[in-house]
Structure formats: C-alpha cells, structure tokens
Amino acid sequence: MTLNFWTPLEYLKMHGVLFKTPEETFEINPRFGAWIPYLGETSTPSPHASVFGLVIPDEVLPILMHYREIVEADFPPDEKFRRLQKMTADDTNPNWLRHIQYALHGKYSDMAEYWAINDLTSLQGVGPAKARKLIGRGIYTADQILQ
C-alpha cells in the first residue's frame, strides 16, 4: 500500500496481507497501492518510499492509521481538528513527531492544519493563505462552506 496521508484506512490495514493466488485479490485503485508477488521471508524488512521519505513500513503505519482513523471518523470538523492537533503535541511519541515533521516539510504547523488546508483548497479560489484565514475563523472543511 502507499504510505501516504490520503491512503484510506481500509487499504492501510491490508499492508502485508498475503493471498495465495492472484484470483484471491481484488482490484486496488493504483493511487493507493498495488499487489506485488511475495518472494518469501527476508531477514530484514525492506524500506518503502513514502511521504515520510524512505522508511520501514512498521515505523509509519501506526501514524498513518491513526491519522486516517480521525479523518474518516464521524466527528464534527472541530473535533477532528482538535484530535489531529494532538498528533503533533509535546507529548507525542518522539519517533512519530520526527516522521510527521519530515512529512509536513515545514509547510504546515501540525497535522490539523495539513488536513484542513488540503480540504479547503479543494474549493476553487481557495489557496493556502485563504485556507489559513478560514481556519482562524473555525472553518476547517469545504463542506462547512458549502452547507
């Protein structure tokens, strides 16, 4: 599976799942991953390209899964925003924080801002600067504007 913030939780949970034959698999949107042949056990896990750079999947899957659990949950936008802010709080696991800071590239203050800006900029005419102003007013999603 792709190790990115946009990969749905159901796909992230399939990382490492083995199928005996190709007929057992199902079609995957190529944006989220691809089935690859299993070549047998290896002594060390192989690094994967990701939004976090080249990493061992087990290091970042918990971060991505936690992010997707929040984003895909049926919480109101302000609750999602609050929970996502906690992902980069001072008490965050230092390994998580290191990976998250790498992935945000200094463009976003935290995971909440990343999520909200990406959602808001899906609207025509809304760029990052305008999205930040909307966030300051408690508007975190395009749906909040379109309602």
pLDDT tens-place string over residues 79-121 = 999 999 998 886 778 888 889 999 999 899 999 999 999 999 9
Q: Within a domain: residue 77?
A: yes
- Domain total for the chain? 1
Give residue 47's pLDDT: 82
Percent of the chain at pLDDT > 90 equals: 50
Give residue 14's pLDDT: 80
Q: Within a domain: residue 129?
A: no
Q: Within a domain: residue 116?
A: no
CA distances from 14 to 17, 18, 140 (A): 5, 9, 29
Q: Within a domain: residue 145?
A: no
Average pLDDT of the residues of the chain: 86
Q: Within a domain: residue 137?
A: no
Q: Within a domain: residue 138?
A: no
Give residue 46's pLDDT: 76
Q: Within a domain: residue 141?
A: no
Range of the domain at 99: 9-111
Q: Which two tokens stand for residue 92?
A: 């965050």
**In this predicted model, which residue has the larger pLDDT, 62 or 90?**
62
